[in-house]
Structure 1
Amino acid sequence: MFQVDSYLMKPKCNVTDLKDVVNDPQSYFVEVTDSAGLQGIYNSMDFQYLNGAICLKYYGESMLDMRYWDLVDQLWAYIMNLIDAVLQKGEGSEITSFVLPKNDFLIALIQGAEQFFTCMTNSFSSDCDYSYELERIERLKRELQ
């Protein structure tokens, strides 16, 4: 139903054409579960500015793709804020409207965030600490049950 993937931008990558980023993502990004790919870019990474992208599809239809790349750890933090708002207030802010199964959507986002922060921690534990984010994810998972 939902597919959520996180990517880190290859260091020193210069984006000049967003269409090219979408059509040829492997030239620009490494998927966070690709351990060998992550190790290949490790020495050039700036852990204070982790550019990357989150791709979100619903039944194969893209809702979020590479053209919305930014500081990917911060994108995940914003998404977790949105999940928190939905759980606390019943709604989050909106720019684009979608009709989706609420719980399945929130679970997919939480799983995507967990995958991102876990892969980053496993691959780069000496350079980044995402323990707060991972604890927050556990709390959000409990609230969704």
Structure 2
Amino acid sequence: MNARVLLVEDESLVAMMVEDCLVELGYEVVALAGTVDDALAALQRAAIDVAVLDVNLGGTPSFPVAEALEARGIPYLFLTGYDRSAIPEPLRHRYGLQKPFRMRDLDRALHSLQAAGSAAGTGSEGDAAALR
């Protein structure tokens, strides 16, 4: 079964590119959200295995989405134009890739994230180690 992905990105061209990459890598994008509210709603209605979050959604940080994912034990990573220091310390272990990125780097980051989640159950400590 393909991993079901929540993609949170507000720039439509970037969202389309990342979605295409995810599909090409074998993932199923079950929800695409451009706002915090849309992403939180998607979490309520869709079965999500992993999420990819942009940090800045039209001037609003995606951190409430990250916190909701943490609470549900769903692994995720930030895919952002910002560096690691733009992410609050409690969520910094989820820093994944800086834009622009290579598709193989996205594939590697998602595989590491999922492998760590499988090895450690659904805890975030294993996920954190995979992204360091």
For this structure pair, what is the TM-score category when the shorter chain's length is used for normalisation? Answer: 0.3 to 0.5
TM-score by length of 1: 0.31
TM-score norm. by structure 2 comes to 0.33
Structure ranking higher on relative contact order (CA contacts 8 Å, 6+ apart) = 1
